[in-house]
Amino acid sequence: MAGLRTKTILEEGALKAIVGIPGWAQGFNETAAGSANDPVSAWATVPLLYRAVSLRASSLSSVPFVVFKGDQEVDWPLEPDLQSIIYALELGLLLTGAAYGLKQYVGRLMTSVQVLNPTTVTWSHKRGEDHFTQRVGSQTYGPWGPDMVMALREPSMTADTGAGLAPAQVALQASKLRFNMDEFASQFFANGAQPQTLITTTGNPGTVEMERAQNFFRRRMSGVGNAWRALFLRGDLKITTLTPELKSMGMKELAAHVALDIGAALGVPRSVLESDAANYATSQTDMQSFWHMTIRPRLPMYENAINMQLLAGTDYTLQFAPEQLDVFQEDETIRAASLLQLVQAGVPLDDAMLMLGYDPIENRPEPEAEQVVEEEPEDALVESELATWQRYALRNLSKNGKSRPFVAEHIPAYVVHEIDSRLAQAQSPDEVRAAFVPRKFLGWESYP
């Protein structure tokens, strides 16, 4: 009939129920720009995992080292610098479970090391020998044998060769949870923080009318621009919020759980990962634990790989010197003070040294017969303090003498004067060590 108008579903009596899906919820059904489906992509998208991995690699590459050519201390002979090599190798081990360094030669002389991207390398074992190939795009390089490639791997209980179990793989579930939490919050607020809603009214609309209603609410109410828009409709409508409030979803507790899991897998305490996770005393204790239990035990693996694989057949050897780091210097000073307190409290020297982790006296090399001297407890304290002073002097040399002078408590005054006069002329690490050896003025021919 002309002039008559059919009621729309937005008018009274025309609608039974509409489920409003906000834009942020729809975004979950679309392909995201980033993902956390594997350790490498998770490292690139989850800030907490990125920090944990980078912290491990940068801390390990900052450990001091000494290179010897025969008995002489020399500079690192290859390109690039060793810190860059170790950083890249540790990054590969943490993310893929393996790391590779390809030797580069000019003629017969090895001049540099190229750290290969471990995601492009295939490590196979054929006829009792390891083989390595690299595929970049459509190009395949290699194969190389173990004489050309320095290979490191994480432990694995499923394979004896090839890549092992990457620590980032162990942290992958926690990283996915963190990624999904961030994606949820990002999509939620990007679309005006609008929750998923259920709209009901009377009537029994058809499918076409239902779709028209849903499209109407999406256009009018989705997006940041419509977040505070008022919409007036005819009809008896009831709106029910389905999405729970963010504060009721335990986001803070989940974030703490993720930080603990990622930190546990990578060996990084939460107070080191997050600056607001603990007070100062706890963070200092955790930092000590990080260096003692995560970084220092890692050094022998690199030292052996570099000496046995990379520098094999040359006159060069590498030795890490973590005791030169400030964190270990402070620990050694505290340990020496604790030894003194235990001895003064009546604890036998052997027992006190064992309690604090010093080598027992009976395990030390015996001096020659004509140099055997019956040591009193004070002599052991002098030895410990001399060792601490020598490390302190080496560190002070790298700081151009800007640190405070070393204060000796047990070393005799004439010995302090003798060493101070020698250190005043020292210009290199070798000259610093020469200031402490030989020790004829102390009655000892040498000092470890």
* Residue 287 and residue 146 share a domain: yes
Give the end of a domain, one of 299, 320, 341: 320
Please state the separation of Cα 286 from the chain's center in Å.
Answer: 14
Of 17-31, 147-161, 250-264, 267-281, which gets the smallest average pLDDT? 17-31
| pLDDT of res. 199 | 64
Query: Mean pLDDT over residues 168-177, rounded?
Result: 92
* Residue 373 and residue 283 share a domain: no
| pLDDT of res. 188 | 63
Beta carbons of 245 and 227 less than 8 angstroms apart:
no
| pLDDT of res. 236 | 57
Task: Kindly report the backbone phi and psi dihedral angles of residue 96, in degrees, each rounded to the nearest multiple of 5, phi listed first.
Answer: -125, -10
Give the end of a domain, one of 320, 345, 360: 320
| pLDDT of res. 160 | 85
Instruction: Tell whether omega for the bond before 438 is within 30 degrees of 0, i.e. cis.
Output: yes
Beta bridge partners of 104: 112
* Inside any domain, residue 209: no
* Residue 130 and residue 254 share a domain: yes
* Residue 411 and residue 289 share a domain: no
Of 12-21, 74-83, 133-142, 300-309, which gets the smallest average pLDDT? 12-21
- Rounded to the nearest integer, the mean pLDDT of the chain is 75
Model-wide pTM > 0.85: no
Give the end of a domain, one of 305, 320, 335: 320
* Residue 356 and residue 280 share a domain: no
* Residue 338 and residue 289 share a domain: no
Give the pLDDT confidence of 93-117 residue by residue, as tens digits.
Answer: 999 999 999 999 988 889 999 999 9
Banded pLDDT at 351 (limits 50, 70, 90): confident
Give the pLDDT confidence of 285-335 residue by residue, as tens digits.
Answer: 888 889 889 999 999 999 999 999 999 889 999 999 888 887 766 555 666
Token reading at 363: 């395990």
* Residue 165 and residue 260 share a domain: yes
Residue with tokens 């709106």: 239
* Residue 246 and residue 153 share a domain: yes
Angle at 62 between CA 56 and CA 63, to 5 degrees: 100
* Inside any domain, residue 235: no
Task: Count helices and strands (H / E) in the chain.
Answer: 16, 12
CA atoms of 211 and 8, how far apart (whole Å):
12
* Inside any domain, residue 373: yes
Grouping H, G, I as helix, E, B as strand and the rest as coil, residue 364 is coil
| pLDDT of res. 238 | 63
* Inside any domain, residue 252: yes
* Inside any domain, residue 212: no
Q: Could you tell me the residue range of the domain that residue 401 belongs to?
A: 323-442
Beta carbons of 249 and 177 less than 8 angstroms apart:
no
Grouping H, G, I as helix, E, B as strand and the rest as coil, residue 357 is coil
Domain count, the chain: 2
